[in-house]
Structure 1
Amino acid sequence: MNILMKFLQLRFIPASIDLALLVLRLWVGGSMLFLHGWPKLVAWGEKAASFADPFGIGAQASYALALLGEVGGSVLLIVGLFTRLGAALGAVTMGVAFFVAHGGQLSGAGNGELAFLYLGAYVTLLLAGGGFYAADIKIAANRTAGMPKSV
């Protein structure tokens, strides 16, 4: 029975929250960057003027803010540098995409299901941080290396 439970619970696969956060950062950051952000970046000239302007700040400004979240936030996630900031940029961008551009619609024509899924991943990374395999950890370690130990 113990072997069956080990198999059913997949306990033969070592659990690692840090490795899982690395995979999530790379997966979400990479897919957002290469499937959404990069195509927007290279199409700036032809698409920026006609981009949605949900807050009345201008189509090009809205486009630039979307790029900030999709490209800037993604690069931060992939590197693990200022991970929570990168996740916040992505979360705001996907929150606007889901709630404003898609009207919070999860099904039907013009739904925002993909933005909703990205939003969930960004919120997870915002709450959890980048994990051990992020540049953030290395920076924090270097900052505290020369500090005196507390008594």
Structure 2
Amino acid sequence: MKNTVASPRINSGLLFLRLTGSLLLLYVHGLPKVFHFSEELTRIEDPFGFGPYMSLIPAIVAEVLCPLLIILGVSTRLACLAIIAVLLVAMLAVHPNWSIAEGQFGWLLLIIFTTLAITGPGQWSLERKVAERFA
């Protein structure tokens, strides 16, 4: 595959997508799970029977750690895969009866993070800067 340099508009769009999608996921889903951990343990769904703790920890990783990595542009594709997995479990296993309207936030997050998994972080990322410095 030919190595091309993306335009500044594409890089700014990917940065915007990384920042806004990650901050939205972090603020709406991730931080409340961390700040109200004990309460979340009592109400988190357990679709696979692993117990509330083993259901909550992957959600926190996907909704707190992964968005922070994506914001920085570090291991973006891998972080997106974790988010996509948790979102698919939520949409298909936990809330399979939701209409498109009821699940629109989840589906939009899936669109955002699948797009980033496909494209990568763009050139305006910490990972790219580190690679350039040591290349």
TM-score, shorter chain, exceeding 0.5: yes
1:113 maps onto 2:100 in alignment: no
Kindly report structure 1 stretches of 4+ aligned residues shifted beyond 2 Å.
104-108
Distance in 2 (CA, whole Å) between partners of 1:96 and 1:142 is 39
**1:128: which partner in 2?**
119
Q: Any idea what the Cα deviations from partners look like across 1:75-131, whole Å, max 9, x if unmatched?
A: 1111111111111111111111111122163336xx322111101111000010000
8 Å CA contact 1:49, 1:60 repeated in 2: no
**CA 1:90 to 1:104, structure 2 compared with 1: closer, same or farther past 3 Å?**
farther
One-letter code of the match for 1:70?
A: E
Is the counterpart of residue 89 in structure 1 residue 79 in structure 2? no
**Paired position in structure 2 for 1:139:** 130
Contact 1:91 1:119 in 2 (8 A): yes
> What's the counterpart of residue 19 of structure 1?
12
The residue aligned with 1:76 is 69
User: Which runs of no fewer than 5 residues in structure 2 stay unpaired?
Assistant: 1-6
- C-alpha RMSD of matched pairs (Å): 1.7
In the alignment, the residues of structure 2 paired with residue 92 and residue 60 of structure 1 have an alpha-carbon distance, to the nearest angstrom, of 17
Q: Distance in 1 between matches of 2:18 and 2:40?
A: 28
User: Corresponding residue for 1:43?
Assistant: 36
* Distance (Å, rounded) in 1 between the aligned partners of 2:55 and 2:65: 15
| Larger-gyration structure (1/2) | 1
Find the counterpart in structure 2 of residue 60 from structure 1. Answer: 53
Q: Counterparts of 2:61 and 2:116 in 1: how far apart (Å)?
A: 17
Greater relative CO, 1 or 2 (CA 8 Å, sep 6+)? 2
- Alpha-carbon offset, residue 56 of structure 1: 1.2
Paired AA for residue 137 in structure 1: R
- For 1:90 and 1:115, the matched residues in 2 are separated by 11
Equivalent position SS for 1:16: helix
- Aligned amino acid, residue 112 of structure 1: G
Q: TM-score normalized by structure 2?
A: 0.87
